Amino acid sequence: MSRKKIALIGGGQIGGVLAQLAALRQLGDVVLFDIVQDMPVGKTLDIAEASRIDGFDSHLKGTSDYKDIENADIIIVTAGLPRKPGMSRDDLLTTNAAIIKSVAENVKQYAPNAICIIISNPLDAMVTLFKKVTGFPANRVMGQSGVLDSSRFSSFIAWELGVSVKDVNAMVLGGHGDTMVPLVRYANVNGIPAMEMIEKKYNDATKAKEVMTKIVDRTKQAGGEVVKLLKTGSAFYSPATAAIQMAEAILNDEKRLLPVCALLNGEYGCNGYYVGVPAILGANGVEGIFEVTLNNEEKALMDNSVKAVTNLVADMERLGL
Ligand code: A3D
């Protein structure tokens, strides 16, 4: 059996961490592509030179030639500009759309059977564009955002309660922007509702609500918090880790239920748009979408988030992208 091939388009901050994680977890052979010459070769060489220490056999290749992504099983796209302090993800629309268009054309030509995970921002619009240009089936084109947003939400709950984050299950749905929807009612610590635990901690329901509101707001602003502190660029360790979890679920046919930016076909009252929803990831990519029962308040938040996504896509279409 031959090794799986993982092609990473964009060899910047996230691309470099993706390459290292894919090698460390022995997911397969790795190709790191960037339009900047030599840099991806340097990065993959640097990672490969630690293979003796880390004990991995994955072959790594840096390149600026799309031919090298031929027959990739998985493509992860990070090509495009990251945010600068004060910018919203949507401010990247015009620049990154042109980049994603050219990436999608090349992926279509050189790796027509790959399963593709998009990370470039503004995420929901870039996944939509990538799907449109490649014409790949919906199960093979998805975006990474919910796994990261949910990990941030889970971490903040764990830090508040002083429990291991391994026991926290909390999910964020909706678009990857300020309207994202952290599902408070479903958040739990090994089955115990997180809200109940926060209420017990403070013995005060009002205070518990305030604490959870802060956690939700921090989750929504978490990307911006890192951008502000880094001064240049945006988060890159955690987005890479999140995408690798998705790639691993697909390559190992794990049937993981993860929050994935997937194409909706009537689910959540939405048709034809990419939105973050719980999806089953396996060998065929997105193998199913689960529709969580939402109460009126949650439904209103989800509708608002879907509206933000449709507005963003409409902006992109108005620009002729
Ligand atoms: P950065 O370190 O700038 O890397 C981007 C790379 O893309 C650079 O090395 C560029 O040379 C390369 N590039 C530009 N144009 C092309 C092209 N046409 N073909 C191939 N490569 C090209 O950015 P980063 O790695 O920090 O972030 C990458 C993207 O991910 C940005 O759009 C971020 O906003 C986005 N991002 C998304 C999340 C999500 O959770 C969705 C989180 C963090 C960042």
Does any ligand 1 atom lie closer than 6 A to the CB of residue 45?
no
CA–CA–CA angle 104, 233, 28 (5° rounding): 50
Does any ligand 1 atom lie closer than 6 A to the CB of residue 78?
yes
Task: Tell me the catalytic residues.
Answer: 176
**Interval between CA 37 and ligand 1 midpoint (Å):** 16
pLDDT at 257: 98
- Nearest-angstrom CA–CA distance, 228 and 177: 16
Q: What is the number of the ligand 1 atom nearest to the C-alpha of 123?
A: 41
pLDDT tens digit string along 208-263?
A: 999 999 999 999 999 999 999 999 999 999 999 999 999 999 999 999 999 999 99
Q: What is the mean pLDDT of the chain?
A: 96
Does any ligand 1 atom lie closer than 6 A to the CB of residue 142?
no
Q: What is the number of the ligand 1 atom nearest to the C-alpha of 14?
A: 25
Q: What is the largest CA-CA distance in the chain?
A: 62
pLDDT at 87: 83
Global pTM exceeds 0.95? yes
> Reduced to 3 states, what is the DSSP secondary structure of residue 259?
strand
- The band of 266, judged by pLDDT with boundaries at 50, 70 and 90, is very high
**178 Cβ contact partners less than 8 Å away, ≥ 6 residues apart:** 88, 220, 221, 308
CA distance to 26, 191, 204, 268, per residue, from 255 (Å) = 19, 21, 40, 21
Strands 181-182 and 172-173: antiparallel
- Nearest-angstrom CA–CA distance, 101 and 131: 10
262-273 burial code (b ≥16 CB/10 A, e <16): bbbeebbebeeb
Q: What is the number of the ligand 1 atom nearest to the C-alpha of 79?
A: 7
- The band of 321, judged by pLDDT with boundaries at 50, 70 and 90, is confident
Over 80: is that where the pLDDT of 1 sits?
no
- Nearest-angstrom CA–CA distance, 5 and 115: 11
pLDDT tens digit string along 22-48?
A: 999 999 999 999 999 999 999 999 999
**Interval between CA 215 and ligand 1 midpoint (Å):** 27
